[in-house]
A and B are shown apart, each in its own frame.
Chain A
Amino acid sequence: MNETINDLLTPEARQRLEAQVTRAADKDRALRRFLNGVPLAKGLIRAALDTALRRDPFALLAEGWRTSKDIRTFYQGEGAQLGEPVVVKLAAHDIERDLTPEVVIDVGAERRFPLRLALTLCGEFEGVELSILDGDMIAFGSGRCHLSLKLRVAGRTLESLTLGKLTLPYEHRLTPALPLYS
């Protein structure tokens, strides 16, 4: 269950995503002029996109749990001792997290070209249990999750790429552990 966003993308969805990112990169005049002087620029963008999507989607979505006021209140109410894990059963919920892509070109000095494109990672969770140890979320599991990736430009959704409907294992370790927001 250590799949990344890149692994969950279907070839068709990846192609559509690459097309959108390349189009957004072409709209930046300075970036376009720079990439025109670099051979295999499109290949570079594609490779950079593959590298950027090699991230654990659940680690990104766990930020929603980490900042949840309900979970923090519940954990504090438990009054757990040090080294004593607490398991919380969560209701059905959705978590969205925006990912702002920017092309970074390092030619001795780093230059950034933010793209006018927003990736939104969406997760619809159902029946998920969360394990908390010493104020840190260490694992989750036992439920179902529907992951999707939305492409947005100026607040308008262009594409909605389904990453998959996953049945979570009993325990999915979060490495590193995410401390609850206090």
Chain B
Amino acid sequence: MQVGFRQALGLILCMGVLTDGSALASPRTTVAQVPAGKTDPCSPPAIRRAAAQQTAPALTGCRYEAVAAPLARFFMTLPVARKTEDEAPIGTIIGQNPQAGQPLKPGGRLVLSVSTGRAPKVEDGTPVGSTAETSVSAGSVSSQSVPERSDTPIPQAEPPATPSSQASVVSPPALPAGKMPPAPIENAAPTQEMAPFRDMPTHIPWLWIVAVVALVLVAGLAVASARKPRRIRGRGGLAPNVSLRLTPGAARLKVRGSLVSGRKGRS
């Protein structure tokens, strides 16, 4: 049933793509019109192409802010903040699951590892980026959890491949702190509503939760019924009139011979 739900969600997302003005009649048509091998893997057409092929797009090295909006159209992204020791700048996707090219249906879950950058050392030894790490660990990983830093070089990794994708490939301007990337479409709204739950475990045992809640409810009802004071039925709680009725039956008379033994006479 869960697979069916995912397929339905993917279908709905694809329908949302179809209703978009920039999209064509079908994803295959879109794929056919986009020349393969010339698109930047971080560009929205590449992501759309991967979604049409039901594979995971190659996002390693991309800026999360640049791919967040197009990813939200096709997949359920779950970014995970990672502190790296290498030179990966802040906000760069350093890993993904499933890997690029692996099967991933539209609406599927795509876990992205986003770099929080390398915290520079200061004189007192307290890393400057600790604040960012704290906010990342406490809340969701998004553009506001990965603040722009002027000293961190932002790679211009996506050269424009095609004229059509040029406008969208350009990384969006730096958002002010506390703002999310622009909502791509209406279908992506549930993904952004799940932002507070991004740090929760990916597998939530809903069945167990429902079973436990039902068990608690049943137990509560049983206890309530057991503790329910037994009311005397009828007459608004007045004690009923209990009586024992002796219904006499027929009398049996046993006599040897005649019952009348003698005549006493009239008195």
Closest B residue to A69 by beta carbon equals: B259
Select the stretch in A7-15, A92-100, A155-163 that faces chain B.
A92-100
Partner of B243, one of A39, A48, A98: A48
Separation of A166 and B49 alpha carbons in the complex (Å) = 114
Interface residues of B in 228-247 (CB under 8 A from A): 230-235, 239-247
Query: B258 interface residue, CB < 8 Å from A?
Result: yes
Cβ–Cβ < 8 Å partners of A96 in chain B: 251-252, 254
Binary B-proximity of A53-69 (CB < 8 A = 1, otherwise 0): 10100001101111110
Closest B residue to A49 by beta carbon equals: B244
Query: B257 interface residue, CB < 8 Å from A?
Result: yes
**Is the Cβ of A89 less than 8 Å from the Cβ of B260?**
yes
Query: B207 interface residue, CB < 8 Å from A?
Result: no
**Of listed B234, B247, B258, B261, residue having the most chain A CB within 10 A:** B261
**Is the Cβ of B266 less than 8 Å from the Cβ of A85?**
yes
Query: B190 interface residue, CB < 8 Å from A?
Result: no
Using C-beta atoms within 8 Å of the partner chain, give the interface range for chain A: 35 or more
Separation of A85 and B244 alpha carbons in the complex (Å) = 38
Cβ–Cβ < 8 Å partners of A98 in chain B: 248-250
Cβ–Cβ < 8 Å partners of A63 in chain B: 248, 250-251
**Is the Cβ of B240 less than 8 Å from the Cβ of A52?**
no
Given contacts A93-B254, A95-B251, contact A44 B242 (CB under 8 A): yes
Partner of B267, one of A99, A108, A131: A131
Given contacts A71-B259, A93-B254, contact A38 B239 (CB under 8 A): yes
Given contacts A93-B253, A95-B253, A107-B235, contact A119 B246 (CB under 8 A): yes
B31 smallest CB distance to A (angstroms)? 74
A141 smallest CB distance to B (angstroms)? 11
Cβ–Cβ < 8 Å partners of B244 in chain A: 21, 45, 48-49, 51-52, 101-104
Cβ–Cβ < 8 Å partners of B266 in chain A: 78, 80, 84-87
Cβ–Cβ < 8 Å partners of B257 in chain A: 91
**Is the Cβ of B242 less than 8 Å from the Cβ of A60?**
no
Cβ–Cβ < 8 Å partners of A90 in chain B: 259-261
Query: B255 interface residue, CB < 8 Å from A?
Result: yes
Separation of A87 and B261 alpha carbons in the complex (Å) = 12
**Is the Cβ of A100 less than 8 Å from the Cβ of B249?**
yes
**Is the Cβ of A99 less than 8 Å from the Cβ of B264?**
no
**Is the Cβ of A129 less than 8 Å from the Cβ of B264?**
yes
**Is the Cβ of A89 less than 8 Å from the Cβ of B263?**
yes
Given contacts A70-B258, A85-B267, contact A104 B243 (CB under 8 A): yes
29 contacts between A and B (CB under 8 A): A21-B244, A37-B230, A38-B239, A41-B242, A48-B243, A67-B251, A70-B258, A70-B260, A71-B260, A74-B260, A85-B266, A85-B267, A89-B260, A89-B264, A91-B255, A91-B257, A93-B259, A95-B253, A95-B254, A96-B251, A97-B248, A99-B246, A102-B245, A102-B247, A103-B243, A105-B243, A106-B240, A106-B243, A107-B235
Residues of chain B whose beta carbon lies under 8 Å from any beta carbon of chain A: 230-235, 239-267
Residues of chain A whose beta carbon lies under 8 Å from any beta carbon of chain B: 21, 34-39, 41, 44-45, 48-49, 51-53, 55, 60-61, 63-68, 70-71, 74, 78, 80, 84-109, 112, 119, 129, 131
